[in-house]
């Protein structure tokens, strides 16, 4: 077991010591200073010595870097258990079938990636054979974040294992027939195999960190002991340029997530060329991860390099490896021995002499073939060191060759990411290199065959035995037969039906109050996961601090400054709240881990993530898609919503478009409730659908997005008429009529239907009164709780008609018989209410807050955007005037009267 404070091996472990006595004297001097003057004095002297060395031009690695050699010296490598010969043959079959699958698919023009898995094959195979725990292992098994472009290799292994057949491989990237394989890891498309969607690069590493952290959270809270689960994230060196890739490195080290390992495939290439043409990406990543507090293991060179390091008695080889830029290393991969002798060894007299001792074959073996990521022994040593290291997460930097074993036409070529096939001759060369028993006659009509040694072959038996020993197939996603969670008491939700009386309450506060009641539920309260990005006090959630506690693996090691207050800041090892600091991306990663715990861990958790609505979908919409792809369930809450509600904050805080973005996501159930009882009804129905008894045909794998407002307003009682609850859930119901509102327009008065969502319904209610009292117009007011759900239903109705089924959209049913035109309004851009326009039979028009936000009072902002009550009145009169139901002069009179 590795101690977190162990000395990291360096280049000295790779080189013979010319003067061991001198080395021992230096070490003894350091020991003596440490003993006599203490470690701080020793550290001071070491820093001063390093400064002097740098000032004298002595080339030393930076403090955050080690030399460009393997972290684990050859002499310290453990033996690989098992049958290495069989593992090589398994890997060879997988390499072949991955390349064959993509090549065969190229005739359909669907593309695919060959080179990534070719470089990473041993990184996966070593894990599958010796480390990755399956779902039958203790806890929940391991969580594997597979590099998206390596998916053909994972499919190839599943084919060898008997989990996929040839027809499925031939349907790679052709899913419409129902028996195809998605391009990349995609749980929604292949839910029995893939757990985590990773091809939106940068999100995999971020999610892996928060998944490892959520595993600790589950264990600490006593929900489930998953302390034996390990999270593995397979990443590309080019992918690490994405800001999300490194956004949470400090969190992982700060919380000591030694249940997490990053494996970065350093093939030195991104999509168009070198990752760091003039620099060294491995050294850069080492410094970055070490600086963040991670344990770093480099596996750069294969065993063929051992002889060269033994010959390097002056350190010239290590110095040269440190100075050669990555693009030149890539060039060596494609050049002959003479070029390498001149360009690499010719740079230093000591290396010239070394090269004289090396044959051309030896030089080519080292520079063309021998990389740490291509040898099971090197990879095994790195993985073993990672899982045994305690106190911090580990990153393994494994150097490989992109396109390895695919032939000279692929290896290290800048264009190999876009190269989708091999020729028959190239496949035959690959077959010979991998020593596979595939005959020339197997290539029928120029089509490359799939290869399989047989279901009862030694290779397949070995593969299956290893997986059985490790807890079953991997990767794999479980669909647990979980019992529905008990529903909360009806009184919890019904409490909001009576309204707030004379008290003004914002819908944000209504939601928080509802959650406070739900987390007290004796049966399901502990399953709620409140998530907030350092804005809990903004949303009135501070009262949850002392009762639920904020999760911290260290608990509370200090006395909080507000300890004498009722709602003090309380951290706890078993805290329920995840307060992530100022990171919407991290909060979303939390949400994704919690929302999929029903599958990953067989534990249904109910996350709600509350955030400034402007900074949710706009900043992290890609993660919302990841959430939908991963079949997550829970409640996203966009608080302080709307373009005119958040006074004084201005353009950058004024959300006029999040429902538009949310409407693009098929998994998002988007609601814009106006009243507290609507919030309660939506949450109640969401709990039923996602965690209780979903109705026939309902997909429980959805998530809810609610926009709530910070404007305190009277909360009315729920109308005591039939169909209100159904209308709230489906998206539209009539809140009142002119008559039920106590307004008495003249007989046969012109009538209009006012549809409003969220805070805009209050403007509609004001306009209803003005229309009746000042213009003799009767207006009915409707609450449109979800424009997008109305649209979703209408689209499904249209699709049903194409199938020959008679089906009327709900929005048309609801408005059937409603007199007069329809005028819709929201605190968002007009595109939001216009989602339903084509299915409304009445004359339809809308108002919205289009354009940039601005700082001002709510009243001034609403007048600026033309959505206040007076603007609604003018728009309503204009609509009625076009129909000849009011005089045209009324529109001008109203504009002048209201100062518009």
Q: How far apart are CA 889 and CA 872, in angstroms?
A: 17
134: tokens are 């399956």
Positions of the chain with pLDDT lower than 70, given as ranges: 1-15, 62, 409-420
Number of H helices, E strands in the chain: 34, 20
Strand order through the sheet with 606-612: 578-579, 528-532, 606-612, 634-639, 703-707, 668-671
Q: What is the pLDDT of residue 3?
A: 43
Backbone angles phi, psi at 502, to 5 degrees: -85, -5
Q: What is the DSSP letter of 558?
A: S
67, 410 in Cβ contact below 8 A?
A: no
Bridge partners of 225, per DSSP, are none
Q: What angle do CA 690, 195, 122 make, to 5 degrees?
A: 175
Q: What is the pLDDT of residue 418?
A: 52
Q: How far apart are CA 780 and CA 842, in angstroms?
A: 14
DSSP-derived secondary structure for 441-501: GGSBTTBPPP----TTSHHHHHHHHHHHHTTS-SS------PPPPPPPPHHHHHTTTT--T
Q: What is the pLDDT of residue 51?
A: 77
Backbone angles phi, psi at 626, to 5 degrees: -60, -40
Helix axis angle, 115-130 relative to 376-388, nearest 10°?
Answer: 60
Q: What is the pLDDT of residue 13?
A: 58
Q: What is the pLDDT of residue 419?
A: 56
DSSP-derived secondary structure for 272-301: SSBSSTTS-HHHHHHHHHHHTT-EEEEE-B
Q: How far apart are CA 735 and CA 813, in angstroms?
A: 16
pTM value? 0.93
Q: How far apart are CA 783 and CA 760, in angstroms?
A: 9
First to last CA, the chain: 76
Q: What is the pLDDT of residue 6?
A: 42
Strands (E) in 139-254, as ranges, are 143-145, 231-236
- Chain centre distance of CA 242: 13
Q: What is the pLDDT of residue 4?
A: 41
Contacts with 252 (C-beta within 8 Å, 6 or more apart), sequence order: 209, 212, 213, 260, 292, 294, 392, 393
Q: What angle do CA 830, 834, 839 make, to 5 degrees?
A: 170
Q: How far apart are CA 326 and CA 268, in angstroms?
A: 6
DSSP-derived secondary structure for 596-635: THHHHTS---EEEEEEEGGGTHHHHHHHHHHHHHTT--EE
Q: How far apart are CA 151 and CA 155, in angstroms?
A: 6
Q: How far apart are CA 298 and CA 67, in angstroms?
A: 10
Q: How far apart are CA 127 and CA 467, in angstroms?
A: 10
């Amino acid at each position: 077991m590795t101690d977190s404070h162990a000395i990291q091996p360096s280049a000295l472990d790779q080189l013979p010591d010319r003067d061991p006595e001198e080395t021992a004297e230096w070490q003894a001097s350091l020991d003596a200073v440490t003993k006599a003057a203490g470690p701080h004095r020793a550290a001071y002297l070491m820093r001063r010595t390093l400064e002097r060395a740098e000032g004298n031009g002595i080339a030393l690695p930076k403090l955050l870097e080690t030399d460009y050699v393997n972290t684990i010296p050859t002499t310290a490598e453990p033996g690989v258990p098992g049958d290495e010969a069989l593992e090589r043959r398994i890997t060879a079959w997988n390499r072949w079938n991955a390349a064959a699958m993509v090549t065969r698919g190229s005739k359909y023009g669907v593309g695919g990636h060959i080179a990534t898995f070719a470089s990473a094959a041993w990184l996966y195979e070593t894990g599958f054979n010796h480390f990755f725990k399956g779902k039958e292992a203790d806890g929940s098994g391991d969580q594997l974040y597979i590099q998206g472009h390596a998916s053909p290799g994972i499919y190839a292994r599943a084919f060898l294992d008997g989990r996929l057949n040839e027809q499925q491989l031939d349907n790679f990237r052709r899913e419409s027939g129902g028996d195809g394989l998605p391009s990349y890891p995609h749980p929604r498309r292949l839910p029995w195999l893939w757990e985590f969607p990773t091809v939106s690069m940068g999100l995999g590493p971020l999610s892996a960190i928060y998944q490892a952290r959520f595993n600790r959270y589950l264990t600490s809270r006593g929900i489930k002991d998953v302390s034996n689960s390990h999270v593995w994230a397979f990443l590309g060196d080019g992918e690490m340029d994405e800001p999300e890739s490194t956004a949470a490195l400090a969190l992982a080290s700060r919380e000591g997530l030694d249940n997490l390992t990053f494996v970065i495939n350093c093939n030195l290439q991104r999509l168009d060329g070198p990752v760091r043409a003039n620099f060294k990406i491995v050294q850069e990543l080492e410094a970055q991860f070490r600086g963040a507090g991670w344990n770093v293991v480099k596996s750069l060179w294969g065993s063929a390099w051992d002889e060269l390091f033994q010959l390097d008695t002056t350190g010239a080889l290590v110095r040269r490896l440190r100075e050669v830029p990555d693009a030149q290393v890539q060039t060596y991969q494609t050049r002959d021995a003479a070029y390498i002798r001149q360009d690499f060894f010719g740079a230093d007299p000591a290396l010239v002499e070394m090269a004289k001792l090396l044959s051309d074959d030896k030089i080519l073996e080292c520079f063309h073939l021998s990389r740490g990521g291509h040898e099971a022994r090197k990879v095994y040593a790195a993985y073993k060191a990672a899982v045994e290291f305690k106190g911090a997460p580990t990153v393994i930097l494994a150097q490989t060759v992109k396109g390895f074993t695919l032939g000279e036409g692929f290896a290290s070529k800048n264009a190999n990411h876009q190269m989708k096939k091999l020729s028959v001759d190239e496949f035959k060369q690959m077959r010979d290199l991998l020593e596979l028993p595939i005959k020339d006659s197997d290539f029928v009509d120029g089509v490359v065959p799939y290869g399989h040694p047989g279901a009862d072959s030694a290779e397949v038996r070995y593969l299956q035995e290893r997986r059985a020993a490790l807890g079953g197939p991997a990767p794999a996603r479980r669909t647990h037969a979980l019992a529905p969670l008990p529903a909360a008491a009806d009184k919890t939700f019904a409490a909001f039906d009576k309204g707030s009386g004379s008290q003004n309450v914002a819908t944000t506060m209504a939601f928080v109050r509802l959650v406070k009641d739900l987390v007290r539920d004796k049966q399901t309260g502990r399953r709620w996961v409140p998530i907030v990005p350092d804005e809990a006090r903004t949303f009135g959630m501070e009262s949850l601090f002392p009762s639920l506690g904020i999760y911290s693996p260290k608990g509370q090691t200090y006395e909080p400054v507000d300890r004498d207050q009722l709602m003090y800041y309380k951290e706890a090892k078993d805290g329920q709240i995840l307060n992530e600091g100022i990171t919407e991306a991290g909060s979303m990663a939390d949400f994704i881990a919690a929302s999929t715990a029903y599958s990953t861990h067989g534990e249904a958790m109910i996350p709600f993530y509350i955030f400034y609505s402007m900074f949710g979908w706009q900043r992290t919409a890609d993660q919302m898609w990841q959430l939908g792809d991963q079949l997550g369930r829970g409640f996203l809450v966009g608080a302080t919503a709307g373009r005119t509600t958040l006074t004084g904050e201005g353009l950058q805080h004024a959300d006029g478009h999040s429902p538009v973005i949310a409407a693009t996501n098929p998994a998002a159930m988007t609601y814009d409730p106006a009243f507290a009882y609507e919030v309660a009804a939506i949450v109640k129905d969401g709990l039923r659908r996602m965690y209780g008894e979903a109705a026939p045909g309902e997909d429980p794998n959805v998530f809810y997005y609610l926009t709530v407002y910070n404007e305190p307003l009277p909360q009315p009682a729920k109308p005591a008429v039939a169909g209100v609850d159904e209308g709230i859930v489906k998206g539209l119901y009539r809140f009142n009529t002119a008559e039920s509102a106590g307004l008495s327009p003249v007989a046969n008065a012109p009538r209009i239907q006012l549809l409003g969502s969220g805070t805009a319904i209050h403007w509609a209610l004001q306009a209803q009164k003005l229309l009746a009292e000042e213009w003799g117009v009767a207006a009915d007011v409707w609450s449109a709780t979800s424009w997008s759900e109305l649209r979703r239903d209408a689209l499904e109705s249209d699709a049903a008609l194409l199938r020959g089924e008679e089906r009327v959209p709900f929005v048309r049913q609801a408005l059937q018989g409603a007199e007069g035109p329809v005028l819709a309004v929201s605190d968002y851009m007009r595109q939001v209410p216009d989602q339903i326009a084509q299915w409304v039979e009445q004359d339809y028009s809308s108002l919205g807050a289009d354009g940039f936000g601005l700082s001002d009072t709510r009243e001034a902002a609403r007048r600026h955007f033309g959505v206040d009550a007076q603007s609604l009145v003018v728009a309503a009169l204009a609509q009625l005037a076009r129909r000849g139901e009011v005089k045209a002069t009324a529109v001008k009179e109203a504009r002048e009267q209201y100062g518009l």
